[in-house]
Amino acid sequence: MPPPPAPQAAEPTVARDDLGAPWLPPGRTVELEGRGTVFVRDSGGPAGAPVILLLHGWAVTADLNWFPAYPGLAERYRVVALDHRGHGRGIRPRHGIVTLPDCADDAVALLDVLGVERAVVVGYSMGGAVAQLVWHRHPGRVAGLVLASTARHFQGGPISDLWYRSYTPLAHLAHLAPGPADAIVRLRVERRVRGDQRAAWMRQELERVSPAGLLSSMRSVGAFRSNRWIGTVDVPTSVVITTRDRTVPSRNQRKLAAALPLATTFEHAGPHDSIVSQADAYVPVLLDAVDHAAR
């Protein structure tokens, strides 16, 4: 591995107070050779602690996904989190097309730049699929896995398959004519943040997205399947199941856990977004899951 780069100027640990931002680890942009520029959070400590690589879900940013868990994780581990390409301040690929394998390779390229040999890879929802791909494509870089609110695949039959396939032409259209797609994103943002005490900060985060990137990454989510190889995972694995999940049904999360030979399950009786909407109850479960995978 190359030596760690010289320290760069970091963002303030907390974003502008008038936006109501929560506590966030120091952040900076990092150039991934041959790939592009990505925004990264890196807590930097404690000294000698395992590295935890956080991979966020679809249509959000690393900060929006993980801010409730940052403080607890940073007390125990070196926490690294990046915005996926097409999301937040992540890489903006040529033609706007985002695939999950590229996201997995971006994550490992970041470990290279940071001089990290192995990390416990923690993925939420879409990020859980990316985490599975990190192990599949780069198994020597993964010390453990935490797979939260995710599955071996996200398909449910011919109708959903058709729905996922439709995202590719929509992504090309959004790249060529971004105006209508931007308007849809703004409407979606307002629905999600309305009434939240951190609405201004959340709005800022959600509006960083690339509409084309979101649409094409959803196509890649629909194409993802780990059924054939997930049973060969050979590192400690925690599967965090949200038992009232209507986005990724809990039965599919349980099938993922059953397919993993070294998996331990952790459960939270809440919806898909429990890490934010029920953080007080969810985060302790997540911390236990990470501790298990990092032992």
Per-residue pLDDT of the chain (295 residues; tens, 9 = 90+): 444 443 333 443 444 445 778 999 999 999 999 999 999 999 998 889 999 999 999 988 999 999 999 999 999 999 999 999 999 999 998 777 899 999 999 999 999 999 999 999 999 999 999 999 999 999 999 999 999 999 999 986 443 444 445 444 444 444 444 444 444 444 443 455 456 678 788 888 877 877 777 878 888 998 899 999 999 999 999 999 999 999 899 999 999 999 999 999 999 999 999 999 899 999 999 999 999 999 9
pLDDT value for 202: 82
Q: How far is CA 130 from CA 11, 12, 85, 148, in A?
A: 26, 28, 12, 12
pLDDT value for 195: 61
How do beta strands 142-148 and 237-242 pair?
parallel
Can you tell me which residue has the tokens 């509409």?
Answer: 211
Residue 293 tokens read as 């995978």
CATH of the domain spanning 17-154+225-294: 3.40.50.1820
3-state DSSP call for residue 222?
Answer: helix
Q: pTM (2 decimals)?
A: 0.85
